[in-house]
Structure 1
Amino acid sequence: MSKRNPQLQELIKVLIIFTVCTSLFYVALRVIHDQHERSHRYDPPGGAAVKVVNPVEPDWSDRLSIFFQLGE
């Protein structure tokens, strides 16, 4: 019984440390998530932003051809 008691104590220590570390990691992830959610992702870009692409509506026959080629 004397050998088993120290092993049980070590196991309990490890489980407590694991639980505390897991809880701290979870809280840190929640804080980071909350900060990320408060950021405005869809604001217009600041600075010297340049629009790269001007989308052009393709002809319906071209679109139909792409549809059949890609199997969408």
Structure 2
Amino acid sequence: MLSEGALCGHPGTEVDHIRPGADHSMSNLQLLCSWCHKRKTQAESIVARANSKPLPSTKISRDQREATPDVW
């Protein structure tokens, strides 16, 4: 049963996947306090961005661009 924060020992308030992905089984879940969950999520995000391929650049000529509407 999930009862206390797995990283710092503070009361857990957020459910976290131990291993990222779609495995929602209890063995892959842990409770973390909000602060630890944010830190872990940020660290995982940095790694994922570093390992991802950059999006291909699409050159769009000025003539092909949609005109910016005048909001005033």
Larger gyration radius, structure 1 or structure 2: 1
Structure-2-length-normalised TM-score: 0.32
